Amino acid sequence: MPSREVPVVTMSRVESFVLQGIDAVPCEIEVDLCTSGLSGMAMVGLPDTAVRESIERVKTAIRTCGYRYPWRKATICLAPGDLRKEGPVFDLPISIAILAADGAIPASGPPIGSFLFAGELALDGRLRPVRGAVSLAMLAKELGRTGVVLPKANAVEAAAVGGIEVHGFERLDEVVGFLAGASAAPTPEVDADRLLAAGGASIDCSEIRGQEAAKRR
């Protein structure tokens, strides 16, 4: 009998978060690339429309940054499966998980499992800011992770938490270079008093009905 070809499966796992109110809940992004079958992509784990659309942003950003998008059968799992996933925050962790599963990120840099990742991708590979950077940093600290990797525009906000590394980047290829050990992101300097003062000055309570005592504070 002719021998059957055993499909080669490569997997990777990247950690991110789901924002529920102001609280961050851990979310694992798992990617499975298989050499058997037709190329295609399946995403599971209750993704909303914005999350499902992320795969097109991810594909284009990976190619425009000079990397090969693996045209293989891919399964992307967002866990836990019973928690709704919303928004573009998963663009960066999905792209890193795909590149890691395809072998595009060598193991010469810091371990991917040491960080939580979040960020929206533009088609040219730029990283756009996301909501919940402080909650992401607090979650990373609670879980005992080394730090967070996120857009540069969110770095100062996340660094206000303290006690963890905050790596902010402007582009996807900069993140890959960091994880490959070829580059590093400067740690943002944070003036906590100034940050809090700026945050307080931007609060607009005009749409809040009632809660007079809280608004005075």
Select from 66, 77, 57 the least CA-distant residue to 16: 77
Which pLDDT belongs to residue 108? 81
Asked if residue 1 belongs to a domain, the reply is: no
- Per the listing, tokens 């607009």 go with 204
Which pLDDT belongs to residue 86? 93
Which pLDDT belongs to residue 82? 93
Which pLDDT belongs to residue 71? 80
DSSP bridge pairs for 165 = 147
Distance CA 112, CA 103 (A): 13
Q: Find the domain containing 82 and state its range.
A: 9-189
Distance CA 138, CA 77 (A): 24
Q: What is the CATH classification number for the domain harbouring 45?
A: 3.30.230.10
Which pLDDT belongs to residue 185? 67
Residue 29 CB coordination number (10 Å) = 24
Following DSSP, what letter does each residue of 29-83 receive, concatenated?
EEEEEESSS--EEEEESSB-HHHHHHHHHHHHHHHHTT-----SEEEEEEESTTS
Per the structure block, which two tokens stand in for 28? 């694992």
Q: How many domains does the chain have?
A: 1
Q: How does DSSP classify residue 85? A: B
Asked if residue 210 belongs to a domain, the reply is: no
Asked if residue 19 belongs to a domain, the reply is: yes
Per the structure block, which two tokens stand in for 45? 């784990």
Chunked mean pLDDT (size 10), the chain, 217 residues: 51 95 94 77 92 93 94 90 94 96 88 96 97 97 97 96 95 95 71 53 54 53
Select from 46, 105, 106 the least CA-distant residue to 78: 46
Asked if residue 85 belongs to a domain, the reply is: yes
Which pLDDT belongs to residue 105? 92
Asked if residue 104 belongs to a domain, the reply is: yes
Asked if residue 215 belongs to a domain, the reply is: no
Distance CA 155, CA 134 (A): 9
**Is this structure's pTM higher than 0.85?**
no
Distance CA 156, CA 188 (A): 6
Which pLDDT belongs to residue 188? 72
Phi (first) and psi of residue 145, to 5 degrees = -80, 160
Asked if residue 103 belongs to a domain, the reply is: yes
Asked if residue 51 belongs to a domain, the reply is: yes
**Residues near 207 by Cβ (< 8 Å), separated by ≥ 6?**
none
